[in-house]
Amino acid sequence: MALFLISSRKTVHQLVTLSQRCYSSCSKMKRGLLLGVYEGDSGNDVVLTPAAAKYNELVNGKLVTNINLAGPKIKKTKTRVFWGLENAQHACVAVVGLGKKNVGINVLEEIDEAKENIRTAVAAGCGALENVDVKEIDVEPMGDAEAAAEGSLLASWIFQEFKNKSKQKVLPNVSLYGSDQADSWEIGKIKAQAQNWARRLADTPANLMTPTIFSDTVTSVLRSLTNVQVIIHDKQWAEDKKMGSFLSVSRGSVQEPKFLEIHYKGADNTSEAPIALVGKGVTFDAGGISLKSPGNMDEMRADMGGAACVVASIKAAAELKLKVNIVGLIPLTENLPSGSATKPGDLVIAMNGKTIIVDNTDAEGRLILADALCYAAEFKPKLTLDIATLTGAMGVALGAAATGVFSTDATYWEALKTAGTFTGDRVWRMPLWQHYNNKMTKPVKAADVNNMAKVKGGGACSAAGFLREFASDACPWMHLDIAGVMSSNNDDLNYLHGGMSGRPTRTLIQFLRQLSA
């Protein structure tokens, strides 16, 4: 027995020493490989992906041997890291569980589970490699390289650019392992990078993302892309257009409002009717005279999340060379209290001539979108889609699970729903009934419409009813309320780490892809 204990201790010591040497080598080389495995039918075995099976052959079966030694059952998103399987390209190999192999669209959940399992698995696997100081990560396609690229690139990015350089986390460089599905990987990469740009724009402090800075930033990024034109309109232009509703919100700020107009002409026929994307661009919302509570008011730097989503989607559309024409319209302003700010009860006149009583200056998003929707009609679009962090009521209704959508057209709604199922960033249709329009118009005696309903409940629906008064009847219209999904602090997605989420950028890009196809 004594000899066995000595032998056992020696063996353990050798194993620990080997592990330390391999870990040191892995850290020094800073390159790891992420492979996937499915749960077997028995639940106690694993099934290698094709890429993992090829790698197992490359290392003479050592991958499977190590998996079995560690215990073959690897549940979904659970990761094991092995060292020293090869002496060439990768010092570290992480194996992550993808769940069951033959899953697909879950009708009840309205999500493609196969794709979402990949996103969450690669996010977990990349995190495990980061934890052992690996900064160069090769990710196999996992059966769907687009989803693998999305999960890994979203999970590997955080907003930290204003931290001291010495305290910034070194973000890993993520690449596709092999040449299989390279085109799909590139699509996923473009989508993820677009969402990360939206996250960056929304998370930037408001003093560093004013209407002017937002306009200049977007121009600098988009002007180098093919078939994209950016026009920055000033306050005088808005006055000439009689955008009294939009301009009323800007009165309390010393920052001049801007109106950003972006054209992407990707269709074979450049004169083809465009899709109009309208994004709410309130770069900081204090509520105006109807001042918000100070708790979490700092998050109102992201009240331009709709605008960020629009510009990021147009960027991706240009990079993907989508065969569609797009016009992006973004009213940009701050909403602050001051001696010159719009007062509760004031009357303003929108571009279409309708008069509005501003009962609550914190219901400002609908005021700036009203004029933008009127202007969108001038382009005779085939569809107008506005996207905005519009109402806290939407967060109450749906939480962070989905974006609320109001639509006048069932076909476009179904296409958007399909896109959300595909991306895992879901949407949910809300009622757009005359009942809610009446709440905004019939009680009003001094004007055509009020910017707040006089009754409690249904706040997101009545806000959509207000916007419907300004959306053109000549084409289909959809309104996306993204207030509930603005922040990733309240959701359970492991590939979004805190801060602003940039949602639902990928869903909007996928929707445009479907229309292009």
pLDDT value at residue 70:
85
Q: Which of 54, 76, 135, 292 is catalytic?
A: 292
CA distance 409 to 24: 59
pLDDT value at residue 71:
80
Name the CA radius of gyration of the chain, rounded: 26
Average pLDDT on 223-239 reads 97
- Do the beta carbons of residue 376 and residue 276 sit within 8 Å? yes
Local structure of 186: helix, strand or coil: helix
**Per residue in 328-359, pLDDT tens?**
999 999 999 999 999 999 999 999 999 999 99
Q: Is 366 one of the annotated active-site residues of the chain?
A: yes
pLDDT value at residue 300:
98
Residue 354 backbone phi and psi in degrees, to 5: -75, 140
CA distance 372 to 278: 7
Q: How confident is the model at residue 18 (pLDDT cuts 50, 70, 90)?
A: very low
- Tell the burial category of 410 from Cβ atoms under 10 Å away from its Cβ (0-12, 13-18, 19+): exposed
Beta bridge partners of 38: 47
pLDDT value at residue 7:
34
Assess whether the previous peptide bond of 504 is cis (omega < 30° from 0): yes
Q: Report the alpha-carbon angle 401-402-406, nearest 5.
A: 150
Residue 355 backbone phi and psi in degrees, to 5: -95, 145
Q: To the nearest whole number, what is the mean pLDDT of the chain? A: 93
pLDDT value at residue 507:
98
Average pLDDT on 93-101 reads 95
CA distance 286 to 333: 12
pLDDT value at residue 43:
57
pLDDT value at residue 45:
77
Q: Using a pLDDT cut of 90, give the percent of the chain over it.
A: 87
Residue 4 confidence (pLDDT) above 50? no
Average pLDDT on 73-102 reads 92
Q: How confident is the model at residue 174 (pLDDT cuts 50, 70, 90)?
A: very high
Q: How confident is the model at residue 362 (pLDDT cuts 50, 70, 90)?
A: very high
Residue 94 confidence (pLDDT) above 70? yes
Q: Tokens at residue 485, please?
A: 């999904």
CA distance 158 to 231: 30
Q: How confident is the model at residue 382 (pLDDT cuts 50, 70, 90)?
A: very high
pLDDT value at residue 455:
87
Between residues 87 and 380, the one the model is more confident about: 380
Q: Is 354 one of the annotated active-site residues of the chain?
A: no
- Tell the burial category of 511 from Cβ atoms under 10 Å away from its Cβ (0-12, 13-18, 19+): buried
- Do the beta carbons of residue 313 and residue 512 sit within 8 Å? yes
**Per residue in 53-71, pLDDT tens?**
999 999 999 999 999 998 8
Residue 8 confidence (pLDDT) above 50? no
Report the sign of the C-alpha dihedral through residues 222, 223, 225, 228, in that order. Answer: positive
Cα–chain center distance at 490: 14
pLDDT value at residue 313:
98
**Per residue in 273-303, pLDDT tens?**
999 999 999 999 999 999 999 999 999 999 9
Q: What does pTM read for this prediction? A: 0.93
Between residues 227 and 492, the one the model is more confident about: 227
CA distance 493 to 401: 10
Summarize the chain as % helix, strand, coil (round to 5).
40, 20, 40
pLDDT value at residue 24:
47
Residue 452 confidence (pLDDT) above 90? yes
Burial 225-258 (b: 16+ CB within 10 A, else e): eebbebebbebeebeebbbbbbbbbbbbbebebb
Q: Which of 8-12, 144-148, 465-469 is predicted with the least confidence, judged by mean pLDDT?
A: 8-12
Average pLDDT on 320-325 reads 98
Between residues 442 and 282, the one the model is more confident about: 282
DSSP label at residue 7: H
Q: Tokens at residue 53, please?
A: 């099976």
Residue 454 confidence (pLDDT) above 90? no
Residue 98 confidence (pLDDT) above 60? yes
Q: Tokens at residue 417, please?
A: 């729903």
Q: How confident is the model at residue 88 (pLDDT cuts 50, 70, 90)?
A: confident
pLDDT value at residue 106:
96
CA distance 403 to 408: 16
Q: Could you tell me which of 513, 516, 506 has the C-alpha nearest to residue 193?
A: 506
CA distance 299 to 291: 14
Average pLDDT on 367-393 reads 98
Q: Which of 200, 301, 366, 513 is catalytic?
A: 366
pLDDT value at residue 180:
87
Q: Calculate the CA dihedral of residues 180, 185, 187, 190 and round it to 10 degrees.
A: -150
CA distance 397 to 417: 18
For β-strands 355-358 and 449-450, DSSP reports them as parallel
- The answer for residues whose C-beta is within 8 angstroms of residue 269's C-beta and 6 or more apart is none
CA distance 273 to 380: 6
Q: How confident is the model at residue 476 (pLDDT cuts 50, 70, 90)?
A: very high
